[in-house]
Structures are given as C-alpha cells and as structure tokens.
Chains A and B, each alone.
Chain A
Amino acid sequence: MRGSTSLVSRVAWGSALSASAAALVAALATSGFAAWLVHRAEDRRLEEAAVTLARELDVDGPRKTVQAIVADEAEELEHTDLRFAVFDGEVRLLAGDARLQPGASGSCVTLRQGALRSCRAISEGGLVAVVASARSAQLPLLSLAALLAVALAALLAVVSSRVVSSAMVSPLSRLRARLAEVEVEALSRADVGEPEGVAEVDALRDAIGQLIVRVERSLEQAHRFAANAAHELRTPLTAARGELELLSEQLAEEAARASVQRARRTLDGLGTLVDRLLILALPTRAPGDAHETVSVRDLLEDAVASQPGAAGRVRLSEDDAQLHGDAVLLGTLVANALSNALKFGRTASVTLERVGSLVRVCVSDDGPGVAPADRDRVFEPFFRAENALRLRLPGHGLGLALIRHIARAHGGDAAFREVPVGACLVISFPEVSSPP
C-alpha cells in the first residue's frame, strides 16, 4: 500500500506527541508555581524589612532625624539590593529613594513596569516605611531548566513510545504474520491462531476466520462443479470414442474410414480438453501425502516417445532429478511443456538446473518467444497469445495453465524466463533430498 504509515509509527507519534504536550504543560505549571513561591518569599523579606524600618522610626524617632535612620538602615543593609524610603501621612517623601512610591493599598506593589517590587509598613507615628528591591527577572534559569526537561521528556517519549507501541501492536503483528502464511490453495488448513486476549484484535481475527471459511466454501463449490461437469462428460466421451474405434475397424471403404478417423480425432481433442479441465479443477494441494518417486528424465523420455515426430526435434540433457508426486500429473505437465515448445519452435531443448533444494526444468524453443506483456497472462486458463492466434495454432489456451497448476500442486511453479531468442519455460520443483 503506497503512502500508508505503519500503525506502530502512528501510535508511537501520537503517544510521543501527547507525552510531550503533557510534559510542556507540567513544566509551565511547575515553573509558574516556582515563580510564585519565589515572589512570595521575596515579598516576605521586603515586608519584614519595612516592618523593621517602621519599628526603628518609632524607636529612634525621638533621637534621630528620619534621614539618619534611613541612612543607617541603608548602610546596615548595604550588601543587599534593598532600597528604602519614608513618606509621611500625606505621601510626601521624607527620606530615602525618591523613585519609590508608598503604593495605594495592600502591603506590596510592583513598580516601574515590573522592575521594582516594593512593600510598606506603617509606623505607630503614622510614617510609611517603604522597602523595595529589583524584581528578580522571569526566573531565567528555572525556565531554561523547565524547557530542557520538556525537550528531554519529548525525546524519551519518541524513543520509548516506538518500543512500547510496537509491543502494544504485537498481537496485531502476530495476526498479520499468521495471515501471511495462509495459502489460497490450502484454506482449510488456514490458521488464524489462538485468541490474543485483546478485544479489537480478537474481533478482527474472528472476522477474518469467518471470511476464510466462506471463501473456502465457495472455492470448493466452484471446484466441485467443474470436477462434476468434467466427470459427467467423460462417460459419454469414452463410449462415443469406443464406438467410433469399433466402427472404423468394421468399415471396408477407405473414405468412410477416413471420415470416422476425423470424428475420432475431434473426440480425442475433446477428451484432452475435458482431461485438462478436470486436472485444473483438482485442488492445487492434493490431500494426503500419497506420492510416488518420479524421475524427470523418465518423464521427458516418455513424453518425447509418445509425441509423433518429437524424437528428432528435442534435445534432452543427460541430467536427472527425482521428484515426489503424482506420476500421471507430472507426465501430463512434461508432455504439455514439450508439445507447447514444439508448437511454436522447430526444435526444443530441455536442461536441468539446481538452485538450493529446487530443481528447475528449463524447456527452451527457437520459436517467436513470449511477449513480455504476455509473460504472466499466458498462464491464465483460456488465454491465447497473439502468436498462437496469428499462426492459427490449435489449442484452447489451457496447456500453460495446466503446467503451472500441476507444478504448484507439487510445491513448485512455472514461469517464462527472459531469453534473447525463442522462449524458455522454467518449471521448478522441490527435489527429493537424497539421504547421505
């Protein structure tokens, strides 16, 4: 599927994003709360300083001027950044920093666009003591730490969410893996596995299981229909062919015999067609493990011997390989492959190749070859290649379908290989492993 993203990455990105957002909110809230706490502590210090100043105004008032008291206080607290001012009841500056204001109400106010914070206390003598300090800026270190924490959390979320989400999606992945193993040829043995214990995945698994059963049933019906139809055709065909055989023996006249022979050939063709349809209707996986050991070379030699005129036109390799399977079906396959090659080419050659545990039977001919566009379609039942139609070659377009069907029923396959001249049909089979 083009352009699709994996569920794992979707879940991973989704959870990473939400985790990061949560981390950001948490960081903002935390730093906000921290700032509030710091400010409150600052206010308390300023208030205490103002109360101290007010008390000193009351205590030292009779002995010192207000200016002297403020100067003493400032000197005493020189190492701090505190600023002092004292106003009278009419808000006139008596001493201290002129930039400070007593503030209208409440004990603490923010001055000069947030740069200063000042708190006040009122002495018993009615003087207003104001203490201010530079407002600590937006707590830059704290904010930076919070941002770093958010970034780290986001990174962790991205990394861990991938691991976590692939673990969460694993029941789905297991189901997918089992479904990938389901073979269309062996639906009855399809295994969707045990329930995962995850409601959504199990529902999906059940739905797929039911679908497989329905597909299998309808395929089986189609197979049975084709098999029955072909089977019903066999009996009258056998009888009609037999009658014609007997008839041609009894006929003395040459012309009449020739006519009967033609009818027999037509019926033979029909018989072959019915045979092929019946084989194509066989399930690709024959049930049971009944098999014979069959030699490829025997099959090839017998096929050449049984096809009139084939002996001089086919070159067989000396090589041999043993297959497990149905000798009759494999014989049909080989005979079809050879007759197909000789239909299009003047000569054909057969070679054997071994790739791993597979043996490949390569049937090459010197004919016009198969157009690249047709290379796969020629294996469809009733498909007839351009060449075959143009050359008016006889056939139903079943030979190659039959070859592939039988090859697959034996755990192999058939395909055309790209060659510079002619055509090269490659039929692969699992070879019988020879015990050491």
Chain B
Amino acid sequence: MRVLVIDDEAEVRSVVARALQADGHAVSTAVDLERARERVVEGVDLLVLDLRLPDGFGLELCRELRAEGSTLPILVLTALAQVALRVEGLDAGADDFLTKPFAVAELRARVRALGRRGALPRGLVYRRGPLSLDFAGRRARSGAQEVAITAKEWAILELLAQRAGRVVSRIELLEGVWGDDSESAAGSLEVLVARLRRKLSPELIRTLRGEGYALAEGDGRAR
C-alpha cells in the first residue's frame, strides 16, 4: 500500500515512515500541505496527516480531497483528543484519529485496519425500523433516543453496513478494526458484537458460525 506521511516534525516523520516500511508499505513523506498535494496527485492509497502544519491546518487537505470526491482513507494525528476536534475532523472527512504521543505499534495497526476497510462510507445512513445510524455524523438513534456507540463499535458497524445483508468474515472485521487477528482482538470482537446487539437490537447482527457476521438489510439507503 502507498502511504503518504505528512508531518512537519522530522523525527516523527522519519520513525513513522520506517515503521510503516517495515510493514511492507511504500512510504512517501511531506512536510507541509503544498508538498502533500503534489504527492497525492502522484498517487497514494492512504494518508497519515498531522494537523499542525507550517502552511495550514491539516483538515484543509481533508476537505479539499473530499470535495473532489476522493475516497482516500485518512488517519489524522492530533495532539489534542478533544471531542470538538474529532467532530470537526469527521466533518472534514477524516476517517480515524490517533492522539500524540502514540505507540508506533498502534499507528501500524490503525494504518493496516484503515487500509483494509477503506474510507468512511460518507453520507451513508443505515435505517431499519426505529433505528438509524448516521456514519458521517457518528450519531446512532433508536427512535428519539440517542444511543452511545464507541469508536471501535462504529468501525464494526461501518464494515457491516457497507455490505448489509451479506456476510463479513471475522478476519475482515479483525483486520479492518484492530489491524490484526490476534486472540485478544478476536475476544474483543465478540464482546463488541454482543454489546451492539444489546444496545441496538438483538436481531440486528446475525452470527454465521465459522464464517462471520451479517448486518440485517436496512430499509433503504439514503444519501
């Protein structure tokens, strides 16, 4: 996978680049938005984007790309884990967030996961009976009641909703959400699926033994 790392701090850029190269990715780097735009034109599959850049705010690039209709997966690095920033980031078109200082292992897992599941299904709203899942705004409602859904749960729902009615394998889910198929990730997947059934609806997610999970078909997709 071709990954573009955009960060103005040389030390961080360098260590992230080497770590991703060790995972077999083709890594290019950029120190600012201008150079990042050039690299994107050359062709990349995933962006690792820092927000504080010398010539602007990282989310500007997200907005530009989404405005052009790009579905390039974007992982944003932030120094502040504030909800306001995450909401703004999601609106601007970011797909995942990692807070500095992060463990490089976590970054590698997130890049793998994001590479597997691709960019957020923008504009996708899943509806079934009283239930509605707004993926872009990350709001889940059951009737008038807002339902709390965690980031990992959203990632599972995203993968399932993109192929609603069809089976998504356990491996796909593990790699798309955790970036690995370790035992602890497998245990977490089961816990989170059980939780989603409890929160949303018991028959929403079907287990297909030995195969994976399937989300019940929605009432219709709305843009």
Contact = CB atoms under 8 A, between A and B. Distances in A.
B15 A286 contact: no
A234 interface: yes
A170 B33 CA distance: 59
B216 to A, nearest CB: 22
A274 B104 CA distance: 17
A236 B11 contact: yes
B147 A327 contact: no
Contacts of B79: 231, 234, 278
A422 interface: no
Contact of A293 (B80, B148, B195): B148
Interface string A243-271: 10110010000000000000000001001
Contacts of B208: none
A282 interface: yes
Interface string B117-138: 0000000000000000000001
Contacts of B12: 235, 238-239, 242
Contact of B81 (A243, A302, A329, A435): A329
A288 B12 CA distance: 31
B97 to A, nearest CB: 9
A274 B81 CA distance: 13
B166 interface: no
A294 B145 CA distance: 13
25 contacts: A235-B100, A238-B12, A239-B9, A241-B104, A245-B105, A246-B15, A246-B19, A246-B22, A268-B103, A278-B79, A290-B83, A290-B88, A295-B148, A298-B148, A298-B150, A302-B150, A322-B146, A322-B148, A325-B83, A327-B83, A328-B81, A328-B82, A328-B86, A432-B146, A435-B145
Contacts of B16: 242
A434 interface: yes
A326 interface: yes
Interface of B: 9, 11-12, 14-16, 18-19, 22, 79-84, 86-88, 99-105, 107, 138, 144-148, 150-151, 188, 191, 195, 199
Contacts of B101: 234-235, 237-238, 241, 271, 274-275
Q: Is the interface of B mostly helix, strand, loop or mixed?
A: helix
Contacts of B103: 241-242, 245, 268
A290 B87 contact: yes
Contact of B84 (A243, A288, A294): A288
Contacts of B11: 235-236, 239-240
A293 B19 contact: no
A291 interface: yes
Nearest to A249: B22
A301 interface: yes
A432 B102 CA distance: 32
A62 B60 CA distance: 137
A197 interface: no
A57 to B, nearest CB: 116
